[in-house]
Amino acid sequence: MCMKKVITGIKPTGTIHVGNYAGAIKPALQFLESDEYTPLYFIANMHALNTVTDAELLRKQTLEIAATWLALGLNPTQSLFYCQSDIPELFELNWILANLTPKGLMNRAHAYKALVDKNTTMGLHRDDGVNMGLFNYPILMSADILLFDADLVPVGKDQIQHIEIARDLAQTFNQKYGETFASPEGYIEKDVAILPGLDGRKMSKSYNNVIPLFSEAAQLNKLIKQVKTDSSLPHEAKDPNTSPLFTLYQAFAKDDEVLNMREHFRNGIGWGAVKDAVFEVMNRELTIPREQFQNLVSKPKEIEDILQDGATKARMIAKEKLIQIKERVGLLHI
């Protein structure tokens, strides 16, 4: 049986919040249940080097992100779960691909282009503050995907261009050296939940409006109390479709609970009661993962063993593929 491979890279940057969970982690974990796909989930710590330059912090965030995924149900026996920096084969492929990458293509990559545009507007040199890690980012990301012949890459919209670059590079390589790489498809989950933050805008670190995923129960309750509401009084009918609290409730409640809550909104439930209900469903879903997370982060050695085990398995695939690639390119001597 030929299972398709689904790959995703998780950058270890910052505290995970409930918006990340509902919008990215939960949908990605669904692939674990599928018998059509083999999931490859890795921690993109090499990519994170571009923004995280404090060694201690990078180490901490790497362990925490691994613990987060494990606590939420990522089962390392149903998937390959590894850390990018433990797969040296990636960096050999990265270099080989770099030689097939037109510089002009990288000039148009959105993260670099956005920085150039900003510099230009500010009257700075176009490449001010640009390092080669940022410039080459899409090449390394292509290596991540192509080395494992991934078929599907679930990502946010902003990453679609990177997948196209990976497809381009795969095609260029295949044309030059013969059919070697599968052509990956980007995948954007359609009905993905975009959760509002405390101020009602999209929950995002940059808006400073997040509910950290593993907040202790009391803290979680306190934060939910801060979520913005309108000034309607208890007993006044409320519109669920414009209420941030309702969106949060919906992301964690069961279908019949959501229906009931809609009814309560129409009948004029008070905001205090809505907040209690939001806390209840969120806390219900997060209590066990929170405990597991705390338990795991207190045992970094266990996390490290899981990651090393994943890397060993991933490298078996990577090594074999790299031999084939080096053979094609003429890097094997005989």
Question: d(Cα 147, Cα 150) in Å, to the nearest integer?
Answer: 8
Please name every residue paired with 83 in a beta bridge, in sequence order, or none if there are none: 43
Q: Which of 25, 58, 147, 153 is in the footprint of ligand TRP by CB under 6 A?
A: 153
Number of residues that bind ligand TRP (CB under 6 A): 12
Q: Which of 5, 6, 9, 19 is in the footprint of ligand TRP by CB under 6 A?
A: 9
List CB contacts of 114: < 8 A, sequence separation 6 or more.
Answer: none
Q: Cβ 7 to ligand TRP, closest distance in Å?
A: 5
Question: d(Cα 26, Cα 317) in Å, to the nearest integer?
Answer: 27
**Number of residue whose CB is nearest ligand TRP:** 9
Does position 11 bind ligand TRP by CB under 6 A? yes
Candidates 8-16, 190-198, 222-230, 279-287 — which segment interacts with ligand TRP by CB under 6 A?
A: 8-16
Helix, strand, coil percent values for the chain (each to nearest 5): 60, 10, 35
Structure tokens at 242: 């414009």
Query: In terms of C-beta distances under 8 Å and separation of at least 24 residues, what long-range contacts does 124-130 make, across chains too?
Result: none
Q: Which of 23, 28, 41, 47 is in the footprint of ligand TRP by CB under 6 A?
A: 47
Q: Cβ 273 to ligand TRP, closest distance in Å?
A: 38
Q: Which of 6, 22, 25, 44 is in the footprint of ligand TRP by CB under 6 A?
A: 44
Q: Cβ 242 to ligand TRP, closest distance in Å?
A: 30
Tell me which residue of 161, 141, 44, 150 sits closest to 93, measured CA to CA: 141
Dihedral (CA of 63, 64, 68, 69) sign? negative
Candidates 141-149, 241-249, 265-273, 319-327 — which segment interacts with ligand TRP by CB under 6 A?
A: 141-149
Q: Which of 25, 38, 87, 144 is in the footprint of ligand TRP by CB under 6 A?
A: 144
